[in-house]
Amino acid sequence: MGPASDMMNGNTLEIVRPRWLRRQLAEVVAKLNKMDDQATSRVFPGTEAARFPESLGFRTGSMSVHTSRTMMLEELGLVLDRVPQIARKGEYELAIVEQNVVGKPTRSTRQRTAQRLSELYALDPACSVFRLLRICWSVDPAGRPMLAFLGIE
């Protein structure tokens, strides 16, 4: 893959992903698209299927990392680095609000951070897209900004 622009400081990052990971991600996206196409065509015959269904965790509108004014990449990194990969949904909020893994000075800012991270990334292992983000986060540290951007639509 070619270099990707680091929008924060203008530096260039080289995103390196193992071939097996690229293949696996491509297979997952292809399966999601196929499932979505089949479901949509059964419910609405003759309509074009929408890509990346919300039922799997993809988001649109103001709750999307693509339309939000921030990705909260630093906070996401702090949370994912400090909360075990096997954690349940409630454990993410507990880590942010009670254990202050994000280093916020007040409880209200920690609560808002937990709320916003949940809106952007789900922070719920029951969400397929978040599970994939969570697994890939530790595999490809250099690709984390791109992974967060692609994680939840």
- The pLDDT tens digits for 92-104 are 999 999 999 999 9
Under a CB-based contact definition with an 8 Å cutoff, are residues 73 and 121 in contact? Answer: no
> Where do the H-state alpha helices sit in 14-127?
19-43, 73-82, 89-97, 107-121
Pairing of strands 3-5, 12-14: antiparallel
Supply the mean pLDDT for the chain: 75
Give the domain extent around 30: 3-151
Candidates 55, 95, 56; CA nearest to 78 is 95
112/128: higher pLDDT = 112
* pLDDT tens readout for residues 8-67: 445 545 455 677 777 777 777 777 766 666 665 555 555 554 455 555 555 555 555 545
Alpha-carbon distance 138 to 85, whole Å? 9
- Residue 104 is predicted with a pLDDT of 95
The total number of structural domains in the chain stands at 1
- Residue 6 is predicted with a pLDDT of 42
